[in-house]
Structure 1
Amino acid sequence: MTLNPKTTKFEFGGPLGVTVLTIFLPILSVVLNELIRSDYYIKGIFQNFSINETLKNITPFSSLLQLTFNKQVWTYYLTWFISLLVFDTILPGKYMNGCELRDGTKLTYKINGISMVTLLILILSVRWNLTNGTMPELQFLYDHILELCLVTIVFAFILSIYCYAVSFIPLLGSKRNGQDGKEKVLAVGGNSGNLIYDWFIGRELNPRFFFNIIDIKMFCELRPGMLLWLLINLSCLHHHYLMNDGEINDALLLVNILQAFYIFDGVLNEEGVLSMMDITTDGFGFMLAFGDLTFVPFTYSLQARYLSVSPITLGYTRCILISTIMCIGYYIFHSSNMQKSNFRQGKLENLKSIQTKRGTKLLCDGWWSKSQHINYFGDWLISLSWCLTTWFQTPLTYYYSIYFATLLMHRQIRDEEKCHAKYGKSWEEYQRKVPYKIIPYVY
């Protein structure tokens, strides 16, 4: 069996499609952030929105180029990124094996989300107390959102180019199954031989740096982008607090709480990422580097950023409604994932399943009798609750829920193709027993 088979099926429209995405996605990130400024923001479709006005308020390209190379912002971001790398390396944690790779080995990962979150909270608490209720770092972050967004885009380009280049270097100095300099395990989808396509998708499955200490894909998945998203939200709350003489807006506070809970849950339960498609299937190229470092912090925070320039008062009733939607979504998402995890560990043998020729079982009972990806439905409800914190004041903040639905549907299609190839007739039987893809009785 070939360790690294050639990629024969292209996604995202092949080399041309990924070229378009490489240009379009960074532009989209910048434009979305440009549409939320204290001097200009979209309040409603028919209120202060026009294409001419929008184009007039977007920063000219020459100015964007100048902002991209702001030395102070680069210094802050590199300090942030490198500090997290150091903390991720030295903080205590437990070690877990990932999924088995095609060469029969398993990579070891350090799970230290609890240590990382504890340290972050401690630093924020100390800085808040030392500065008498204000934090200059958060205000700097709020005032330089656009520059930071541009910096992360360039950084994602640099990082993905580096990862693509080193993917051609054998595993010198390390042993895999007792051999020195063995061929690396490449991503099945990123080994086409086309430079642009493989660079975008990611050629190497699990690039590791510094004597295999740092798994850059796992690190970027949960650290710099996710935690920066948290800080951007806090900077919006901090800015509103300063500008309004200590007043706390309920909508802005609510979205901070809901998203902070989601972020901390992801970081504290990071072992769940080890079985996700991002880790097990996709290489680490521009797609994931840009998604983790730019798209997550600078587009997932749109609700908080919008509310910092155009605050609304939700009141108790709407706050309770939004929180209920979030709780329902989280309950579905968490309990369904937990049920599948327990089943895989042999703890729920009473649940109905389909035996496959590969010796594994396809769960089709409990939550997983409702739809093939019931956890995706819960995750989407969570995203909807965040958008609802801006109520119906603007269509802009609902971008995230629409984008997330598209992303989940694309993942479902990819997963279905992979499972059909992997399980054959067993998967067809599973589809007959569980016909709905994501939303029960709808899709």
Structure 2
Amino acid sequence: MSGKILNPVTNHYEFSGTIGVFLITFGLPIVMIGFQLLVSREYLIQGINLKIDLVKSQIYNIGWKQLSLDKNVWLAYLSWFSILAVFDVGLPGKKLKGIKLRDGTKLDYNINGLLFTSLFVVVVGIRYKITNGLLPELQFLYNNHLSFIIVSIIFSFILSTFIYLNSFIPLVKKNGFNTKERILSINGNTGNWFYDWFIGRELNPRFGSFDIKLFVELRPGLLLWLLINLSCLHHQYLSKGYVCNSLVLINVLEGFYAFDGVLNEEGVLSMMDITTDGFGFMLIFGSLSLVPFTYSLQSRYLVLNEVNLGPVNIVFILALFFAGYYIFHSSNKQKSDFRNGLLDDKHYKFIQTKTGSKLLCDGWWALSQHINYFGDWLIAWSWCLPTGFNTPLTYYYVIYFATLLLHRQVRDSAKCEAKYGETWRLYTSKVPYKIIPYVY
């Protein structure tokens, strides 16, 4: 580390700086609550016209209990978060090293996704067997959906503030190296407390062996999303005696994706969320609140607005999902294998950079600079199409995810331009398409 600054000051601002961050911080929760009110009330969705006066009247009719701090909801949410954290730390798993950090160290990770999901499925299965399929926990989740949203938002603010303040506490020893500095995010060290709180000041905050950043990204939000979907399926069956095939399809596809995310957690260790972004409100709110309560919009809609798909539509949606899944995973595996020296350089075209790394421009990565993003976006379409075309609200995820991927692509391109210079420009001339081959 001699001659190098461990935590350089951040000189660039994203999201148009403090004003943009302020609007996102307080605007997104309001939008999220509004979306939930709209998709949860069948008479509020008539064609594509959203009537604000109906939304306002519905808010008044919800009742104080839904908007208040219901102690039972708080108890359920905090128990959920705490129990998962204990399992995350306590369950054995495969030991892996993360990428090299700026101080030359590598963090140790306990990869126990397989055992974690297996235990989760067993517990739900046993509970289902004991109650003969009538799961009161799922019905409680469904009946108090809005309260859970508000609790998750408040908890995100509390946790973000705690993590931000904790980033100022000096470390005496870290991973065997004596140091008084924490490793901060290159994006969240501006000195502007609100901006750094939002972006995330510390890169990988830990409490002992508990990596709270990886935990929040892959455990409570993803699995709560799965439970919300199941609660919708459970409610429709109890109230109508059957479940429409579109709701079953949504549960299968999104459940598969959620479990796959937990099971393949080691793939996240090299992603921008872990390697570059700090752990702040942006990531905390996105993982704990935005993911479970907006990714489940389709299920919430289908409970009260049934869509029955024909065989051709089901086959098409399944084909779209697995095509996206194949592109996403096979392209990521190809890049991972290339980085780890598992692919023969003689059979794959690449560009050697001055920093010593190689830019792959062959196979999947000859089609676009972020071909994995394209696969992920196809998956997003497969989750929205089962809802039909009666409202644009259930297509929120496709629009939001496209915006997110475009933002990440721009950030990554700027980072690579600064790092590789002329070599990056040579690479973009060979691989001109950014995400969608032959389109963008």
Q: How high is the TM-score relative to the length of structure 2?
A: 0.96
Structure 2 residue aligned with 1:365: 362
Structure 2 residue aligned with 1:147: 147
Tell me, which stretches of 5 or more residues in structure 2 are unaligned? none
Letter in 2 for 1:248: V
Judged with a 3 Å threshold, the aligned counterparts in structure 2 of structure 1 residues 262 and 59 are, in CA distance, closer, same or farther, namely farther
Structure 2 residue aligned with 1:16: 19
Structure 1 residue aligned with 2:180: 182
Judged with a 3 Å threshold, the aligned counterparts in structure 2 of structure 1 residues 377 and 295 are, in CA distance, closer, same or farther, namely same
Q: Secondary structure at the match of 1:96?
A: strand
Q: Where do 1:78-227 residues align within 5 Å?
A: 78-172=78-172, 174-176=173-175, 178-179=177-178, 181-209=179-207, 212-227=208-223
Structure 2 residue aligned with 1:440: 437
How far apart in 1 are the matches of 2:262 and 2:23? 32
Letter in 2 for 1:74: W
| Of 261-270 and 32-41, the range deviating more from structure 2 | 32-41
How far apart in 1 are the matches of 2:157 and 2:430? 44
CA contact (8 A) 1:68 1:151 kept: no
Q: What displacement does 1:67 show?
A: 2.7
Q: Secondary structure at the match of 1:164?
A: helix
CA contact (8 A) 1:42 1:396 kept: no
Q: What displacement does 1:55 show?
A: 2.7
How far apart in 2 are the matches of 1:50 and 1:156? 30
Matched, 1:415 2:418: no
CA contact (8 A) 2:42 2:305 kept: no
Matched, 1:302 2:297: yes
Q: Secondary structure at the match of 2:7?
A: coil
Q: Secondary structure at the match of 1:188?
A: coil
2:240 to 241, 244, 259: 244
Q: What displacement does 1:41 show?
A: 3.7
Identity of aligned residues (%): 58
How far apart in 2 are the matches of 1:156 and 1:60? 26
- RMSD (CA atoms): 1.4
2:275 to 272, 280, 283: 280
Q: What displacement does 1:327 show?
A: 1.0
How far apart in 2 are the matches of 1:175 and 1:273? 22
Letter in 1 for 2:399: I
Q: Secondary structure at the match of 1:298?
A: helix
Letter in 2 for 1:440: P
Q: Secondary structure at the match of 1:81?
A: helix
Letter in 2 for 1:18: V
Structure 2 residue aligned with 1:385: 382
Q: Secondary structure at the match of 1:346?
A: coil
Structure 1 outlier segments of 4+, above 6 Å: none
Deviations 1:323-353 (A, max 9, x none): 1111111111111111111111112122100
CA contact (8 A) 1:114 1:268 kept: yes
Q: How many residues align?
A: 435
Deviations 1:99-156 (A, max 9, x none): 1111111111111110111011101111111111210000101111100000000000
Letter in 2 for 1:192: T
Q: How high is the TM-score relative to the length of structure 1?
A: 0.96
Matched, 1:424 2:421: yes
Deviations 1:340-395 (A, max 9, x none): 11111112122100001111100000000000000000000000010001021221
Structure 2 residue aligned with 1:230: 226
CA contact (8 A) 2:229 2:296 kept: yes
Structure 2 residue aligned with 1:42: 45
CA contact (8 A) 1:44 1:393 kept: yes
How far apart in 2 are the matches of 1:204 and 1:60? 42
Judged with a 3 Å threshold, the aligned counterparts in structure 2 of structure 1 residues 356 and 68 are, in CA distance, closer, same or farther, namely farther
Structure 1 residue aligned with 2:284: 289
Structure 1 residue aligned with 2:7: 4
How far apart in 2 are the matches of 1:176 and 1:316? 56
How far apart in 1 are the matches of 2:269 and 2:68? 34
Tell me, which stretches of 5 or more residues in structure 1 are unaligned? none
Structure 2 residue aligned with 1:313: 308
Q: Secondary structure at the match of 1:430?
A: helix
Letter in 2 for 1:271: E
How far apart in 1 are the matches of 2:271 and 2:439? 25
